Amino acid sequence: MQYLFVGAGQAGTQIVDQVFAHDNIDLRAEAMAFNSTIQDLERLNNIPQERWYGVSRNQGLVSGTARGFEEQVTGGFGQTPARSDRVMQQHQDEVHRVLDELYATLEADPSTLQYAFIFLGLGGGTGCGIAPHLARQIRSYSPSTMDIVAVGVLPNTQLASQPKTADDDAVKKQVKQCENTVFGLDNLEDEVESILLVDNQRLAMDVAQGNEYSDYNRYVADAFLDIVLGAERERTNADLDVQMQDVDLQDLIRFIDGDGFRAGYATLGRGVRQTESLLGYLVPGSVGRQPIRETGLIADAIDKQTLAGFSPGDADSAVAVAQAPGWCWDEKEMTLGSVHTELEYYCSNVNAGWAVTNRNLASVTTAFGFEREDVDRIADIERIAEREVPA
């Protein structure tokens, strides 16, 4: 096992569940889901019950297959991460026990673990309270040199930014979520190398109707897998005898030493276009092929970054993975050099990889890197948490 995907709390477990909806991901990765609410765990479709762990005030970490699971895991932490933080402080050694169970089942060596990814919602009570403990214990468990990346979901704060026109209870809820977010980020920065941000305010602005949270989670999962697995993912899905180029995942590992260890921040975006018209699907070959341009794909990826108020000019690094059918590369419809050049318009530190896909899609997925001080959304959340909002 090279990769460990850990979901913490409702939002985190739902995104990991979408990651494991993809074919063959479990050949190189394993999923674990930690939550304090059974109903949320029961909504998971792709993480097996033996990988569920309930977070109980009295019992600690309870396996999803344990007898009396429902009686031992009795509810959440009231949107208060300090409570789940205290519970995990008392039971954090149990993380080693559940990892022992995982590796015993897989008959694998913990030293093969290269990266652990911890997904969490930053506005709630469970995920941002337990995630720093999970990161610390996973790091101490693995004897190898491995890196940990957190994927944190920021809350929607539009009402709290404009309290004059908002319902008081709704404003108070969003202020509380901002307080939780600051609590979670401050604790995570000491335990992980990098924090990828997913912003629910993007969802609120663009598609906040119906069941779009599931679609948004799927988008995040697709973009994340492109960056993390890239060409390796395509080798799993297609028998392609082509030398493809992965991005260096170390470009996502953005810790800042300075006066002490501190995580960097990043955001994700993905642009996708069909490479075949309907006629091209019916008549194989060159008929119906659609023109593809990297500039359009990169523009889409920038427009769809998972962060409200995103500005690529504020980034100090960028990572990109370009994927397309073989003919797009052969006929120079796409070139890695063009992707690289386009991203260098925004920042000088760029790493790009490419892959041939057997799907009739061309995509460019980007991750832009920042220091915390350069992320305006975090500054806004900090102001709201301190009640520094318009009167």
pLDDT at residue 252 above 70?
no
pLDDT score at 57? 85
Residue 224 in any domain: the answer is: no
DSSP code at position 130: H
In this structure, of 71-75, 126-130, 148-152, 179-183, the range with the lowest mean pLDDT score is: 71-75
Residue 74 in any domain: the answer is: yes
Residues 62 and 176 grouped into a single domain = yes
Residues 187 and 273 grouped into a single domain = no
pLDDT at residue 18 above 90?
yes
pLDDT digits (tens, 9 = 90+) for 255-307: 444 445 568 899 999 999 888 765 544 455 555 677 778 888 999 999 999 99
pLDDT at residue 177 above 90?
yes
User: Both tokens of residue 194?
Assistant: 């990098």
Residues near 213 by Cβ (< 8 Å), separated by ≥ 6? 14, 203
In this structure, of 53-62, 140-149, 180-189, 284-293, the range with the lowest mean pLDDT score is: 284-293
**How much is the average pLDDT of 111-121?**
92
pLDDT score at 281? 46
User: Can you tell me whether residue 101 is helix, strand or coil?
Assistant: helix
Which H or E run includes 220?
Answer: helix 212-228
Residues near 311 by Cβ (< 8 Å), separated by ≥ 6? 376
pLDDT band, residue 144 (cuts 50/70/90): confident
User: Can you tell me whether residue 324 is helix, strand or coil?
Assistant: strand
- The per-residue pLDDT of the chain, averaged, comes to 84
Residues 188 and 292 grouped into a single domain = no
Distance CA(217)–CA(237), nearest Å, equals: 22
Residue 382 in any domain: the answer is: no
CATH code where residue 370 lies? 3.30.1330.20
CATH code where residue 154 lies? 3.40.50.1440
Residues 187 and 291 grouped into a single domain = no
Residue found by looking up tokens 């993380």 in the block: 95
In this structure, of 132-141, 167-176, 294-303, the range with the lowest mean pLDDT score is: 167-176
In this structure, of 155-159, 259-263, 355-359, the range with the lowest mean pLDDT score is: 259-263
φ, ψ (nearest 5 deg) of residue 368: -105, 140
pLDDT band, residue 106 (cuts 50/70/90): confident
Residues 142 and 12 grouped into a single domain = yes
Where is pLDDT greater, at 29 or 166?
Answer: 29
pLDDT band, residue 83 (cuts 50/70/90): very high
pLDDT at residue 201 above 60?
yes
Last residue of a domain, one of 171, 192, 213: 192
Nearest-5° angle of CA 125, CA 224, CA 320? 135
**Domains: count for the chain:** 2
Residues 31 and 162 grouped into a single domain = yes
pLDDT band, residue 35 (cuts 50/70/90): very high
Where is pLDDT greater, at 358 or 35?
Answer: 35
Pairing of strands 317-324, 361-370: antiparallel
In this structure, of 80-84, 194-198, 213-217, 371-375, the range with the lowest mean pLDDT score is: 213-217
Beta strands in the chain (DSSP E): 3-8, 29-35, 52-56, 60-63, 115-121, 147-154, 194-199, 264-274, 317-324, 350-356, 361-370
What is the residue-wise DSSP string for 265-329?
EEEEEEEEEESB-HHHHHS-SSTTBPP--HHHHHHHHHHT-SSTT--GGG-SEEEEEEEE-HHHH
- Residue span of the structural domain in which 13 resides: 3-192
**pTM as predicted:** 0.90
**How much is the average pLDDT of 347-368?**
87
**How much is the average pLDDT of 62-76?**
84
Residues 15 and 128 grouped into a single domain = yes
Last residue of a domain, one of 157, 192, 227: 192
pLDDT score at 262? 67
Distance CA(193)–CA(74), nearest Å, equals: 33
pLDDT score at 255? 46
pLDDT score at 316? 86
Last residue of a domain, one of 159, 192, 225: 192
In this structure, of 49-63, 66-80, 353-367, 375-389, the range with the lowest mean pLDDT score is: 66-80
DSSP code at position 287: T
User: Both tokens of residue 157?
Assistant: 């704060």
